[in-house]
Amino acid sequence: MNRRDMILAMLGTGVALCRPLPLRAHENHTPAAVGGVGKTRVKIADVVLTDQQRKRGQLSKDFIAGRIVVANFVFTTCSSVCPVISAVFAQLQQQLPADLARDTVLLSLSVDPMNDTPDRLEAQARQYGSGAHWRWLTGRIEDMEAALKGFGAYSARPDDHLPMAVVGDPVTDTWYRFTGTPAAQQLLRTVQQLHQQRNTPRKKS
């Protein structure tokens, strides 16, 4: 059984992630506070990135394209928290109903663009069974820095980045930050909430 299957098995049996993991940097770094969820601000950078299939496009126009966003921040040589959050995304991908999946995009943004080539991201995407709505993104260092800063996820060293996920709707500009490692069900409920808010007519004042 490979690492992905082991993590997914733990998630499926509830052994892991019955509560958010402590917010911490990668192994050999000092643990920080316990994670949680709260509203946040996101500014989508106007940059051109490249996905795991070597397709280039603007982050907002081409990769997000008005859909609900579920984003995480990883690097391919990570051996601690990144495999866990990637496995959570794999589980979320399986749980998303078809009608929600069409209007939702999962984004895994590299925090190590110097080393995370499209080929490496493609290998990661295959490992976690990424479908058409899950894009793994890299790009020029300055472009990735701008993209990560827009999500509040930039760190100067890949090993120092904190585990988190960001879920939001660029149409209503409503965003939530999950610090630590959320469960797939938490992310799914937030996606459902955002879709419901988007499709609920506003009352006239």
Report, in angstroms and rounded to the nearest whole number, the Rg of the chain calculated over CA atoms: 16
Average pLDDT over residues 74-82: 93
pLDDT of 24 > 50? The answer is no
84 vs 178: CA distance, rounded Å: 14
Lowest mean pLDDT among 15-24, 35-44, 56-65, 66-75: 15-24
Mean pLDDT in the chain? 86
- Place domain 3-199 in its CATH homologous superfamily: Glutaredoxin (3.40.30.10)
DSSP letters spanning 67-93 = -EEEEEEE-TT--SHHHHHHHHHHHHH
Instruction: Please write down the HEC assignment for all residues of 9-32.
Output: HHHHHCCCCCCCCEEECCCCCCEE
- Per-residue pLDDT at 156: 92
Query: What confidence tens digit (pLDDT) does each residue in 136-176 have?
Result: 999 999 999 999 999 999 999 999 988 999 999 999 999 99
Query: What confidence tens digit (pLDDT) does each residue in 90-149 have?
Result: 999 999 999 999 999 999 999 999 999 999 999 999 999 999 999 999 999 999 999 999
97 vs 144: CA distance, rounded Å: 30
- Per-residue pLDDT at 199: 84
Q: Model pTM?
A: 0.84
